[in-house]
Structure 1
């Protein structure tokens, strides 16, 4: 697998916000860490790379973000220990935990533990204004739709959603940046994004050309929420220049995860740093507005890492013992 790592400096800089971590606390820490994200041009990469830098600067440990195929592949890489940390979505996490991952059919990926809530992933459709596509029902039969990297959240769920809504299409995979370029060049008709908003590739597109960011009708929302593990989500009009009003779509929650065998004290310090500095997280990516402790309840799939659970329980958020990986 060809990957690219984006490594962060291990120095505690003037941006540091956390208190010092004792040498004794670091005795079982790895020499460095890597976070599995997704393709460039997507929110996972921006969020994960920024978070890795933030942790490295404040905890004095070298770390970075790795480009991967997204949530499904991150579950596999973290489960096997190839990566210490990753970002995942609850749908792919459930499938992986139950042994239904297309990457490793039959393998129950049960050595992946939750750390903290990130944000919701909205499922939204973008087309060029010149295409005349203003709604999902406008997508012509046989249209080529880009669904993101193979095995990503979008690629796992969006084609099924489109079929449920009666759309006839040809499937295209690729990074969000590549698909955005293909859309702009007229090589594909639509991109079906599943990523935290604002999506960097969409923001870039609307600077360069006129686009339609397409929501769902009441009937479409009901069909999708009745059939998939998603809920209604509103993309505020202020998110993109191209939106004249709020856009109603569906979404799925994302969590940062760790291999369950990673040092408890390291995961505790990472969780503490993240949950106690939301302003810094929002400066990394606006989607982190919901990376707050209160959203820990959105995890109903993964066991909790003992280090993360310790921070939540110390700060008034109850995680029962049977939900914590021992």
Structure 2
């Protein structure tokens, strides 16, 4: 009951604040939940874009990966931060989306996110099947982290019905792990994740490698990638780990003017040092990395910028 009221309240609040923009150059941008990196990234993009496009005013609102894609599709926002795997699902209408989304275009990938499945070292969880009947924690239902945790279990032959799941925010998940009320924690974030660092300061943990179930994960979402979590990302992590990953990227309405989107894309490429103060992986971002094929069509304005940089991308 409480969770339903909170979700309904958030939806109602967003419906109020995401009113139609007052002028043609006014944009609404959906970012992330409080405490995450998407809100400060959104704030930096707002400042950079308002300077680069005279007369433009951008309102920044909280959001989440799946909600942001829906918001752009439904005209509740013009711009949003998103997770590539969820946006790719939206293109074809795969779960949790109920129809193909035709008004969502990509302009740039920003940095990788890593799915991390963390267990308490003293919980004697040596393989995922050992979790049967035990308590785990992940993000709220509909969040990309919740979807990936569900897929991770399914790739190992388990479902949420085989475990006791708590669907809460990062802070509550960490506290549950610290207190021993949960033995495993599934999340996707940049790395190192503040939540994992916080947990590791109080409890011994281990992070499961995921290369062995990659093919099973691809059957659940063909946009998943196998990426490396470098050794030393966390204290006592003495080897590289292969985990499932995807890109954080910027989406916007395909209806936005080509020149505006061209300038927005160029502005990202020319300000990676500024954006990298919030997400350090952006420091090494190049136009080629921005133009990575993630299964989401590019806006013609973005495609024009990449063509000038010698990179061809698809707008279909």
Give me the TM-score of the superposition, normalised by structure 1.
Answer: 0.77
| Candidates 291, 307, 312, aligned match of 2:301 | 307
| Equivalenced residues, count | 294
Residues 45-78 of structure 1, C-alpha deviation per residue, up to 9 Å, x if partnerless?
454444344444665644354322x222211101
| Candidates 137, 153, 160, aligned match of 1:146 | 137
* Match in the other structure for 2:10: 2
Paired residue secondary structure (1:317) = coil
* Match in the other structure for 2:17: none
* Match in the other structure for 1:277: 271
Instruction: Give the superposition deviation at 1:285.
Output: 0.9
What CA distance in whole angstroms lies between the structure 1 residues aligned with 2:95 and 2:219? 22
Residues 137-195 of structure 1, C-alpha deviation per residue, up to 9 Å, x if partnerless?
37532222223232222222321221221344223322223322332233322211112
Instruction: Give the superposition deviation at 1:221.
Output: 4.2
Instruction: Give the superposition deviation at 1:280.
Output: 2.0
Instruction: Give the superposition deviation at 1:250.
Output: 1.6
1:233 and 2:227 correspond = yes
Instruction: Give the superposition deviation at 1:94.
Output: 2.3
Residues 296-323 of structure 1, C-alpha deviation per residue, up to 9 Å, x if partnerless?
453242221122112111222123xxx3
Residues 21-44 of structure 1, C-alpha deviation per residue, up to 9 Å, x if partnerless?
xxxxxxx8523x333233334444
Measured at CA, do residues 311 and 182 of structure 1 come closer, stay the same or move farther in structure 2, by a change above 3 Å? Answer: same
Paired residue secondary structure (2:244) = strand
Paired residue secondary structure (2:70) = helix
What CA distance in whole angstroms lies between the structure 2 residues aligned with 1:201 and 1:58? 35
What CA distance in whole angstroms lies between the structure 2 residues aligned with 1:242 and 1:45? 30
| Candidates 101, 114, 119, aligned match of 1:109 | 101
What CA distance in whole angstroms lies between the structure 2 residues aligned with 1:304 and 1:162? 33
* Match in the other structure for 2:5: none
Measured at CA, do residues 316 and 236 of structure 1 come closer, stay the same or move farther in structure 2, by a change above 3 Å? Answer: same
1:163 and 2:157 correspond = no
Cα pair 1:143 1:189 within 8 Å, conserved: yes
* Match in the other structure for 2:198: 204
* Match in the other structure for 1:83: 77
Instruction: Give the superposition deviation at 1:112.
Output: 0.5
Cα pair 1:145 1:190 within 8 Å, conserved: yes
| Candidates 111, 133, 141, aligned match of 1:119 | 111
Paired residue secondary structure (1:284) = coil
* Match in the other structure for 2:208: 215
Instruction: Give the superposition deviation at 1:120.
Output: 2.2
What CA distance in whole angstroms lies between the structure 2 residues aligned with 1:215 and 1:44? 26
Cα pair 1:115 1:258 within 8 Å, conserved: yes
Give me the TM-score of the superposition, normalised by structure 2.
Answer: 0.80
Instruction: Give the superposition deviation at 1:126.
Output: 1.9
What CA distance in whole angstroms lies between the structure 1 residues aligned with 2:206 and 2:34? 20
What CA distance in whole angstroms lies between the structure 1 residues aligned with 2:177 and 2:275? 31
| Candidates 245, 248, 264, aligned match of 1:251 | 245
| Candidates 94, 118, 128, aligned match of 1:137 | 128
User: Where in structure 1 are there 5+ consecutive unaligned residues?
Assistant: 6-27
Paired residue secondary structure (1:262) = coil
What CA distance in whole angstroms lies between the structure 1 residues aligned with 2:96 and 2:219? 24
